[in-house]
C-alpha cells in the first residue's frame, strides 16, 4: 500500500464525466460519488466541458482520487466529449469508467466490476446494475446474468446496462478491438447502445447485477422533444447493424420507436407505416398499438410520455 493509500495491486481506473455546465449541483454530486468509491486502487477523473469553460473549482490533487477539468477539443456532442476524456487519460490508466453528470455512483461501483473482470480475463467491457431514481418513485431493473453476448443486445437496448455503469479497457477503446464512441451517429443519440453492440461483438460484456449507481430521471434530458433527431439516429442504427433485423423483438422495437417519433411531430401517415412494420414483425410490440391510438385519436404525444414516466417507464 503506497503512502497515498492506493494499492498498487489494483489497476488504475480513469473516469470520464461529460458536462455542458448546466447542471452544476448534480455534477458535484456525481464527483462526490466517484470520490467515495471503496475501490483500493487509484481513480482519476477527467471532467470534459462540452462547449463551455471548465470550472477550475472542481480540480483536486488528491493522489487517490484526483480530478482534472478540460474543454472538449473535438467536435461538439457527447460521443466526442467522451472520446476527448478517454484520450486525455494516459496509458497508465488500464480501465476507463463513465458517469453522466446527473447520475451518482454508489461506493461499490468500480470495485465489483474490476473483481468481475478478473474472473473473465477475455472481457474488455463491463456494466453494472442501477437504481432509477425519479422524484416520485425508484425502480431497479434486473438483469441477472454475468455475461451478455451480442445476440442478446440485438433484441434491443438493455435498460439495466446504463452508460453511467460502463467500464472498458482503455486499450480496446483507443485500439481496433472496440474503438472510440461513434461521432457519426446523428447528434450522438443512442451512442451508448451502439457502443454496447460494438463491444459485445468483440467479446461478451460482463454485467454485475445489483444496485451500484443511481440513475436520475428528472425530465432534463438533452434529447427531450428532439423527435426528428431521435428518428434519424434510430434509422442510422438499423442501417449500420443489419443484424438487428434478424431479431423480431429488436427490429419491432426500433420500428415502434421510429413510429412514435413520427407521430410526435404530426407525421401520422409515416408513423402508421412504421407501426405496421413493427406489428408485422412482432405483434407483441406495444408501441405499434400506442402509435395507432395516438394517431387516430390525435392525442398529445408529450402527454403520453409524461404519463409513462410518472408510472416508471422511460420514453417510448
Residues 154-177: tens digit of each pLDDT: 999 899 999 999 999 999 999 999
pLDDT value at residue 288: 82
The CATH code belonging to domain 13-216 is 3.90.550.10
pLDDT value at residue 205: 99
The residue extents of the domains of the chain are: 13-216, 227-310
**Cell 434478424 -> residue:** 246
How far is Cα 3 from Cα 7, in angstroms, rounded to an integer? 9
Phi, psi of 23 (to 5 degrees): -135, 60
Nearest to 86 by CA among 185, 188, 18, 161: 18
pLDDT value at residue 222: 52
116 Cβ partners below 8 Å, 6+ apart? 126, 146, 206, 208
Can you read off the three cell numbers belonging to residue 143?
438483469
pLDDT value at residue 313: 47
Per DSSP, helices labelled H in the chain are 24-35, 78-88, 109-119, 150-153, 170-174, 191-202, 227-240, 248-264, 268-281, 286-297, 301-310
How far is Cα 78 from Cα 185, in angstroms, rounded to an integer? 11
- Whether residue 44 contacts residue 93, with contact meaning beta carbons closer than 8 Å, is answered with yes
Three-state DSSP at 151 gives: helix
Reported for 26-29, long-range contacts at CB under 8 A and 24+ positions apart, including other chains, are 26/101, 26/102, 26/216, 27/58, 27/101, 27/102, 28/58, 29/104
Nearest to 190 by CA among 277, 266, 77: 77
pLDDT in tens, the chain (316 residues): 444 678 889 999 999 999 999 999 999 999 999 999 999 999 999 999 999 999 999 999 999 999 999 999 999 999 999 999 999 999 999 999 999 999 999 999 999 999 999 999 999 999 999 999 988 889 998 998 999 999 999 999 899 999 999 999 999 999 999 999 999 999 899 999 999 999 999 999 999 999 999 999 866 555 556 889 999 999 999 999 999 999 999 999 999 999 988 988 888 899 899 999 999 999 988 888 778 877 776 766 665 555 544 554 455 5
Distances 265 to 29, 53, 55, 152, 218 between C-alpha atoms, Å? 36, 34, 37, 31, 23
pLDDT value at residue 312: 47
Three-state DSSP at 136 gives: coil
Task: Dump pLDDT digits (tens) for 228-286.
Answer: 999 999 999 999 999 999 999 999 999 999 998 898 888 889 989 999 999 999 998 88
* Phi-psi sector, 77: left (phi>0), alpha (psi -120 to 50), beta: left
What 8-state DSSP symbol labels residue 245? G
Side-chain half-sphere of 106: how many Cα atoms within 13 Å?
14
pLDDT value at residue 301: 65
Can you read off the three cell numbers belonging to residue 204?
461478451
pLDDT value at residue 149: 98
Amino acid at each position: 500500500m503506497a503512502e497515498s493509500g492506493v494499492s498498487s495491486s489494483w489497476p488504475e481506473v480513469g473516469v470520464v464525466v461529460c458536462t455542458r455546465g448546466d447542471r452544476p449541483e448534480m455534477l458535484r454530486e456525481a464527483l462526490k460519488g466517484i470520490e467515495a468509491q471503496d475501490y483500493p486502487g487509484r481513480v482519476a477523473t477527467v471532467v470534459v466541458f462540452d462547449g463551455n469553460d471548465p470550472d477550475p473549482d472542481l480540480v483536486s490533487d488528491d493522489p487517490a482520487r484526483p480530478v482534472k477539468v478540460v474543454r472538449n477539443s473535438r467536435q461538439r456532442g457527447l460521443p466526442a466529449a467522451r472520446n476527448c476524456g478517454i484520450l486525455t487519460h494516459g496509458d497508465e490508466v488500464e480501465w476507463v469508467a463513465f458517469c453522466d453528470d446527473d447520475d451518482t455512483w454508489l461506493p461499490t461501483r468500480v470495485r465489483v466490476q474490476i473483481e468481475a473482470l478478473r474472473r473473465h480475463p477475455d472481457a474488455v467491457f463491463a456494466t453494472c446494475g442501477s437504481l432509477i431514481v425519479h422524484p416520485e418513485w425508484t425502480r431497479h431493473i434486473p438483469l441477472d446474468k454475468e455475461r451478455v453476448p451480442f445476440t442478446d443486445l440485438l433484441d434491443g437496448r438493455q435498460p439495466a446496462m446504463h452508460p453511467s455503469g460502463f467500464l472498458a479497457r482503455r486499450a480496446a477503446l483507443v485500439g481496433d478491438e472496440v474503438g472510440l464512441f461513434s461521432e457519426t451517429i446523428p447528434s450522438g443519440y443512442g451512442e451508448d447502445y451502439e457502443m454496447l453492440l460494438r463491444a459485445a461483438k468483440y467479446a461478451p460484456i460482463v454485467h454485475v447485477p445489483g444496485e451500484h449507481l443511481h440513475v436520475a430521471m428528472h425530465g432534463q434530458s438533452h434529447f427531450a422533444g428532439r423527435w426528428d433527431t431521435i428518428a434519424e439516429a434510430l434509422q442510422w442504427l438499423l442501417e449500420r447493424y443489419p443484424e438487428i433485423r434478424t431479431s423480431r423483438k429488436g427490429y419491432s422495437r426500433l420500428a415502434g420507436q421510429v413510429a412514435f417519433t413520427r407521430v410526435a411531430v404530426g407525421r401520422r401517415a409515416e408513423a402508421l407505416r412504421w407501426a405496421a412494420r413493427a406489428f408485422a414483425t412482432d405483434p407483441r410490440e406495444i408501441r405499434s398499438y400506442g402509435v395507432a391510438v395516438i394517431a387516430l385519436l390525435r392525442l398529445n404525444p408529450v402527454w403520453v410520455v409524461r404519463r409513462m414516466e410518472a408510472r416508471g417507464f422511460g420514453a417510448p
